[in-house]
Amino acid sequence: MLEPLIPNNVVCHAVEAMVFASIACSILGVVISRMNLSSIGFTMSHAAFAGASIGMFLGTSAQMAAIAFSVGVAALIGPISDKAKMAADATLGVLFALCMAIAIFLISYMQYLGKGLSASALLFGDVISLYREEIYALAAVSLLTIIFVLLFYKEICAIMFNMKIAQASGMRVNVVYYILLFIIAISVALCLNIVGGLLIFVWLVTPASIASQFCFDVKSMFILAPLVALFVSAFGVWAGFEFTLPIAPLVALLLTGTFGLAVLLSTKRKITTRRH
């Protein structure tokens, strides 16, 4: 897609992947951080991690297995929270532990069997060895995320404001909530190869947190968060290739640095010294 601008195929794929991952994750991140569901990031990333391990163990596509398992976990979060009368955060904690246990169990067992699985690609990502199909899938999920936000904008705003008040006003909050979990699951599973299971959390939380330092309304957060993520990610890819540095951790560090800067510069914390 960006070949006319970036002639080097490897760099081009890396930039495209980072751009699409930034768009999808940061838009979802605005909803996630506002709903205090930050732990959904690490739960879904570890669900994808566990799914990929299952795929490798069974000798099938790791990515397809990661998507299927993540979607399965996403489908469980809502009903378990409802049935167990637990906060979604507590349910996420339980599922996170389960996913981690499955992943570690299978990786250890495969090593015992002499299958010699390396988990580093799943944990840390490998942005320079992506297939074109993976980038197309990421583009599709970015588009799906944008369409989701545009279609359900009023419902998303209402549940971001207060889930109980939204429900009391007669909205079908569960429908939107379950679709949101589904899109998060697919996005995280697809991003696993790019930034890895451990770093995906940065993309889901940090750009939205940066935007929240400056934005007073949700619409501008939905615009600023992906713009920040996109700019920092593209710069990170360029710097990674230019100075031969690991790209995903570099972008994560740059995003965190930007967040620190945003906190320092935020106008929201300014206290007026005016007397009138």
Residues that bind another protein (CB under 8 A): 34, 83, 85, 151-152, 154-155, 157-158, 161-162, 164-172, 175-176, 212, 215-218, 221, 268
What gap in Å lies between CA 271 and CA 56, rounded to an integer? 55
Nearer CB in complex with another protein: 94/104: 94
Nearer CB in complex with another protein: 58/168: 168
CB atoms within 10 A of CB 40: 30
CB 162, min distance to another protein, A: 7
What gap in Å lies between CA 140 and CA 123, rounded to an integer? 23
CB 89, min distance to another protein, A: 16
Q: Write 256-259 long-range contacts (CB < 8 A, 24+).
A: 256/202, 256/206, 258/206, 258/210, 258/228, 258/232, 259/206, 259/209, 259/210, 259/213
CB 46, min distance to another protein, A: 28
CB 41, min distance to another protein, A: 20
Nearer CB in complex with another protein: 27/254: 27
Closest CA to 10 of 126, 136, 135, 130: 130
Nearer CB in complex with another protein: 167/256: 167
CB 51, min distance to another protein, A: 30
Nearer CB in complex with another protein: 92/218: 218
59 in the Ramachandran plot: left (φ > 0), alpha (ψ -120 to 50) or beta?
left
Give Cα 2 distance to the centre of its chain: 23
